[in-house]
Amino acid sequence: MATNIIQTTPESEIVSSRIVNFKIESVFEAFANPAHLKNWWGPAGFTNTFNEFDFRVGGKWSFIMHGPEVGNYANECEFIKIEKPTLIAWKRLSQPLFQVLFTFESLAESQTKIVFKMLFETAKECSKLKPYVIDKNEENFDKLEVELEKLND
């Protein structure tokens, strides 16, 4: 069952964005297709094992992120809104709890602005992760650009 996107304030959001030199359809496909997503999702050095990827509203995304040195991090998510090729939103069902709003805006024929918003119920919850995830989100975007290069060869 899909839910609405929570209403937040700037204090309860972490926002990362980047402009990439790829078509919006390619950027959306890099997420929507698990064969591509598993290659770039997560910070530098992380790999993924996807157990389930049901890309539809109400569908589950279950995966394990494997840290570069130690640690396996289970993630359980549910897609709550998908508007091809401009928006993908999901909520985490595992801790820490938050929603993600991932938007794509075509700026030119081969240029797309990506905005990755992590939405928290409270500023306190947000502040626990903010010191760590801003740099990690940039690493994630770096890996996405590498994957997009492969997609567009």
What CATH number is given to the structural domain containing 17? 3.30.530.20
In a domain, 76, yes or no: yes
At 32-64, the pLDDT tens digits run 999 999 999 999 999 999 999 999 999 999 999
pLDDT given at position 3: 60
In total, how many domains does the chain have? 1
Six token digits for residue 32: 């929507």
The residues, ordered by sequence, that sit 6+ positions from 43 with a Cβ below 8 Å of its Cβ are: 136, 139, 140
Residue with more model confidence, 126 or 152:
126
Residue 96 lies in a domain: yes
Task: Identify residue 17 by its one-letter amino acid code.
Answer: S
pLDDT digits (tens, 9 = 90+) for 72-118: 999 999 999 999 999 999 999 999 999 999 999 999 999 999 999 99
Look at residue 5 and tell me if it is in a domain: no
Cα-only R_g, the chain: 15
131 conformational bin, left if phi > 0, alpha if psi -120 to 50, beta if neither:
alpha
Residue 2 domain flag: no
